[in-house]
Amino acid sequence: MRRDTGIRVFSLGLFLLFWSSLSILMADPQVLPSPAQVFAEMIALWQQGKLQENLIATGWRVFAAFGLAMIIGCAFGYVMGRSDAVDAWLDPWLIIFLNLPALVLIVLCYLWVGLNEFAAVLAVTLSKVPMTTTIIREGARNTSWELRDLAAVYRLPLMTRLRHIILPELFPHIVSAARTGFSVIWKIVLVVEFLGRPNGIGRQIHTQFSLFDVTGVLAYALSFVVCILFIEFAIMQPSEKRMGRWRADAEA
Amino acid sequence: MLKLDLHRKSFAGQTVLEDIHLDLSQGDRIAVLGPSGIGKTTLLRIIAGLDKRFRGTCDAPDEIALMFQNPTLLDWRTAKENLQIFHPKSDEADVQNALRQVGLADKADHFPRQLSVGQQRRLALARCFLTPAPLVLLDEPFTSLDPSLRSEMLTLTRQFLDRSHGTMVLVTHSQDEAVALGASCYRLHDAAQSGAELVAV
């Protein structure tokens, strides 16, 4: 438990208070509903089953794009970090894709592939792969050549190397790639849904937007933020702690 | 058992090693002496089969044990796992035995960072000698150790070598180490204008 937990909780309370007073000041729930109204809307949407349905639709897109981007990015990043020749060949491509706005990728994917699930996941994956590649490449460049030599001399099978040497060595970089990746991907997924999917949080925000329903926008947005925070605290942080055990033990 | 005919090894057009010939039998021990940067490690990597871009031939056994100046351990695996991963055929008793021989019997489940520098070095030594390899390559493993640890490591290494009857190539800049391990000394000389050559001391 951090010593400043109290301050943090209090600060969060202040934010809700600020929001409430602003909504009282506005005196128009159409423009800014109070936290209670948004919460009530969330409950209502949950009871209608709409909230779960859209959360699941968005969640699976985030999950699929995240998984693909991590696997592809790690593979490219590792090879580029290891081989100067491959790096020289692929680096210009990487720079182009790094600087291609996600919005452009989304529009192009929809235009070329069609308004379907595959195009949606592809667009998100493509917009994230370059960042993952860059981070993993940096990690692969700094790995120990002595360990690699040792593995080669002892003729360790590829799977052993991957499991006991390559992945643990890259682990801190994989974590930071996953971290930035996750936070970027779920935002891009919303845009993808906004532009061309029949369901998902992004689509609902689009619908509520055309109805000028601020409460609806906030209800969907906040429930998704809650899910993201849950993943952060329940999955990301504990797994990071577990995998970094050997490091923590050394400091203790 | 080890036959090296190295005609030339160059990096980016610059000749590093030239005309080096080794013909060792089982149990031979040699030390290659020379200042840093002369190509000792390069020579060792060629013998180990890690560097194949040279002119000449190298005929070495399949099973090689290798040790560097740094312990080069898997910091994210326990001491026991560090041995098991590199020696998948060894059983629990072999591993325990190896740990005991280097005085780490009670550290099997410790991570390398929880060990002292000396313990890390001894763990690397245990990894090097767990399964007796016909050829043992040592790349300055005794450099920058304090004197007591150094003599302890040298004694252990000598014991291991006596027992396994392995052929050893040690790269170092200290002749004392060669003597302590009963190795015959060769010096890498920087032949003028060209690559280094091997000369018996």
The DSSP line for A155-214 is T--HHHHIIIIIHHHHHHHHHHHHHHHHHHHHHHHHHHHHHH-SSSHHHHHHHHHHTT-H
Interacting residues of B57 by C-beta distance below 8 A, sequence separation 6+: B3, B4, B5
Size of interface A-B (CB pairs under 8 A): 58
Kindly report the length of chain B.
201
pLDDT of residue B197: 67
A145 touches chain B (CB under 8 A): no
Q: Are A212 and A30 in contact, with CB atoms under 8 Å apart?
A: yes
Q: Which residues of A touch B88 (CB under 8 A)?
A: 160
Q: Are B107 and B79 in contact, with CB atoms under 8 Å apart?
A: yes
Phi, psi (deg, nearest 5) at residue A17 = -65, -45
What is the average per-residue pLDDT within B47-55? 93
A149 touches chain B (CB under 8 A): yes
Q: Write down the ipTM of this complex.
A: 0.88
Q: Which of A149, A160, A167 to mutate to test the interface with B (most CBs of B within 10 A)?
A: A149
Q: B73: nearest CA in chain A?
A: A147
Short-list B76, B72, B45, B75, CA closest to B58: B45
Q: Which residues of A touch B58 (CB under 8 A)?
A: none
pLDDT at B65 over 60: yes
Q: Which residues of B touch A84 (CB under 8 A)?
A: none
pLDDT of residue A252: 40
Give the mean pLDDT per block of 10 residues along chain A (252 residues).
78 92 89 92 93 93 95 95 94 94 94 94 95 95 91 94 93 88 89 93 93 92 88 80 67 44
Q: Describe the crossing of helices B92-101 and B117-129 by its angle, rounded to 10 degrees.
A: 130
Phi, psi (deg, nearest 5) at residue B36 = -65, 150
Closest-CA distance of chain B to residue A121, Å:
35
Phi, psi (deg, nearest 5) at residue B83 = -80, -40
Q: B114: nearest CA in chain A?
A: A250
* pLDDT tens digits for range B26-37: 999 999 998 888
Cα–Cα distance measured from residue B81 to residue B87, given in angstroms and rounded to the nearest whole number: 9
Q: Which residues of A touch B90 (CB under 8 A)?
A: none
pLDDT at B88 over 80: yes
Q: Which residues of A touch B75 (CB under 8 A)?
A: 246-247, 250
pLDDT of residue A73: 96
Under an 8 A CB cutoff, do B50 and A149 touch?
Answer: yes
Short-list A216, A215, A212, CA closest to A23: A215
**B20-34 burial, b for 16+ CB within 10 Å, e for fewer?**
bebebeeebbbbbbb
B53 touches chain A (CB under 8 A): no
Closest-CA distance of chain A to residue B175, Å:
25
Phi, psi (deg, nearest 5) at residue B171 = -110, 130
Tokens 């792969």 found at: A129
Q: What is the edge-to-edge ordering of all strands in the sheet holding B184-190?
A: B55-59, B2-11, B14-24, B196-200, B184-190, B29-33, B167-172, B135-139, B64-67
